[in-house]
Amino acid sequence: MGLPCHRWLLVALLAVMATLALPATVQAQAAQPLHDARPLVFQDPAEEARFHALAAQLRCVQCQNQSLADSNAQIAQDLRREVLLLMQQGYDDARIKSFLVDRYGQFVLYQPPLQPGTWLLWGGPVLFLLAGAVLVAAIVRRRSRGVAAQPTAARAPTADAGDDW
């Protein structure tokens, strides 16, 4: 008689789990009204590939460290749908990007364009590289000057001690 008892326990447990899970799903639905659960329909694999490549270059405007492709925010779903619609209307990638930039600002682009506001962003690494090169050049020049000057005059008496390091 032990087996049916276990089975009843299992049924009861499942029932409890189901009642716990039910409000969660209802809440999730309420939080996202008109949630269109259907995935986007692509006409062919080429379009799908282009869509995914484009969406990966666009940033989700709400959850700001995710791309449009990764994000599950409501607005990201809407924007994905819009991007696909624009693609199907014959917009090229550049026009789709400018469509979004017009509405949401430069922020939607993961790769910002080179313009007066972003030259420091793009040129910064080059500046640091140049600064490092100048620093290295200065150090090398000072050392070589020191080595050249020392044997002739100042370093002559303590030549042995100086060789230690």
Partner 1 sequence: MSDPSPPRPARPLPPVAIVIGVLFFFGLLGLMLYGVMKSGDPQRDVLPSALIGRPAPAFALPVLHEPQMIVRSEELRGAPYLLNVWGSWCAACRQEHPVLTRFAESKRLRVVGYNWKDERADALHWLEQLGNPFMVVLSDPEGRTAIDWGVTAAPETFLVDGSGVVRWKYSGAMTQQVVDTQLLPALAKVEQAAAAADTTAASR
Beta carbons within 8 Å of 66's beta carbon, 6+ residues apart: 59, 60, 76
CB of 56 to partner 1, least distance (A): 19
The size of the interface with partner 1 (CB under 8 A), counted in residues, is 24
Query: Is residue 23 close enough to count as binding partner 1 by CB under 8 A?
Result: no
Query: Is residue 165 close enough to count as binding partner 1 by CB under 8 A?
Result: yes
Choice from 74, 91, 109, 150 touching partner 1 (CB under 8 A): 74
Tell me the three state secondary structure of residue 58: strand
Query: Is residue 8 close enough to count as binding partner 1 by CB under 8 A?
Result: no
Which residue from 61, 55, 56, 58 is spatially nearest to 74, judged by alpha carbons?
61
Query: Is residue 101 close enough to count as binding partner 1 by CB under 8 A?
Result: yes
Query: Is residue 82 close enough to count as binding partner 1 by CB under 8 A?
Result: yes
Choice from 48, 66, 69, 75 touching partner 1 (CB under 8 A): 75
Four-point Cα dihedral 50, 77, 103, 108, nearest 10: -60
Dihedrals φ, ψ of 71, to 5°?
-75, 145
